[in-house]
Amino acid sequence: MIGLDPKTETALRARLPKDSIVNPKLIRDFYQEYKSSLPVDASPETVVWKRDRQRAVVDITFDFSTPPHNQFTIENSGRKHMMSGKATQELAATAR
């Protein structure tokens, strides 16, 4: 898991105990329930499933880091600031 705060990561890990059968509905439910705590672009469709048929296991990667294409730099008094995800939407909403 990449990019989650410890509390939210613990909640996700509790839904997906190690060495258990993965239920995709539990993953979708997590994204819905924690939507306000996740990056704007977070979606169950971005979960990477890596199957190892020989060992009959699947590795799941959750990457909640904000993608670089969703970032932009603003200059304010000669300083540069990186903005992304929720901050970008909030900035756009206040600019209207």
Cα radius of gyration rounded to whole Å, the chain = 17
31 close to 42: Cβ distance less than 8 angstroms = yes
Are residues 12 and 34 located together in one domain of the fold?
yes
Shared domain for 13 and 54, answered yes or no, is: yes
Phi, psi angle pair for 9, to nearest 5°: -60, -40
Summarize the confidence of residues 9-31 as an average pLDDT. Answer: 90
Range of the domain at 81: 67-96
User: What are the structure tokens assigned to 13, written together?
Assistant: 């890990």
- 42 is a domain residue: yes
Q: Mark whether 34 and 57 lie in a shared domain.
A: yes
pLDDT tens profile 22-79: 889 999 999 999 999 898 888 999 899 998 889 888 888 888 886 544 444 444 444 4
The one-letter amino acid at 70: N
